[in-house]
Structure 1
Amino acid sequence: MAHLQYSNGEGFGEQLSDHTHYSQAVRGWDLTTGAVPVDFGQQIDQAFANVEHILQHAGGKGWEQVYKVRCYFAPLDMADEHHLVRNLKTYCPNHRPILTAVGVEKLALENMKIEIEVVAHLGD
């Protein structure tokens, strides 16, 4: 799909892309160091900030253009949903994207508890 524009964050995102031959899926790591916060709330906060950064890096406006969100949780614990809701309200104050939450056994990196995948509309 050569007509699509792929993007990776600087630093760790570029290194991981080169090593694994894929464009960055935004996860709860620090974009420059690759560190994964231990605290679940901090992981969600970092994942949302990463999505904002990558969308803007790719030429978009950020979360305001996101209309679909898919979250992978390892494990899925809806007792922690307030972290997700807080970030959705912060990053999407003027709209409510559709959301799918999926529980998985494990994610790619050690101690990673959340991965967020979004679809954004870059048009009007």
Structure 2
Amino acid sequence: MTMRDAIFPARRQDLYDKHRYSAAIRSGDLLFVSGQVGSREDGSPEPDFPSQVQLAFDNLEGVLQAAGCGFDDVVDVTTFHTDPASQFPAVSEVRNRIFPDKPYPNWTAVGVTWLAGFDFEIKVIARIPQAA
């Protein structure tokens, strides 16, 4: 059986404990990151949509860093959008900054009707780099 280790970013474990899930699970050399939203330190949504998207990517980066990864290690992305057609330009702006070069990660975008008060969520799978 493969070992699984829970990963938590600094200063946010209480939020995950409250909702009873892990920010990410390391299994072998893969990291499975739970959906990250544009939540402030207290867990409340950032009201401005472009800022909410940026904060979701910032929160994702914190989880990746806690596991020794970065955006270059991301191989698969799934995003959830409450209004994909109108939100796509703001998401694309951040995405293009985060992933500027080929090869781009796999990407699946899903339109949803509810994200617990948020309008955008991102989850990823990353390959954990081998220690030098």
Q: Could you state the TM-score of these two structures normalised by the residue count of structure 1?
A: 0.83
Aligned to 1:107: 115
What do you get for the CA RMSD once the two structures are aligned?
1.9
Q: Could you state the TM-score of these two structures normalised by the residue count of structure 2?
A: 0.78
**Cα offset, 1:35, TM superposition:** 2.9
Alignment of 1:1-124 (within 5 A): 3-11=3-11, 13-24=12-23, 25=34, 26-30=36-40, 32-60=41-69, 62-73=70-81, 75-95=82-102, 96-108=104-116, 110=117, 112-123=118-129
Residue 7 of structure 2: SS of its match in structure 1?
coil
Count of residues in correspondence between the two structures: 118
List alignment gaps of at least 5 residues for structure 1.
none
- 8 Å contact from structure 1 (residues 8, 14) kept in 2: yes
- Which one is further off, 91-100 or 38-47? 91-100
AA aligned opposite 1:88: R
Counterpart-to-counterpart distance in 2, 1:123 and 1:58? 10
AA aligned opposite 2:15: L
Residue 78 of structure 2: SS of its match in structure 1?
strand
- Seq. identity, %: 29
AA aligned opposite 1:4: R
**Cα offset, 1:2, TM superposition:** 6.9
Between Structure 1 and Structure 2, the one with more strand by share is: 2
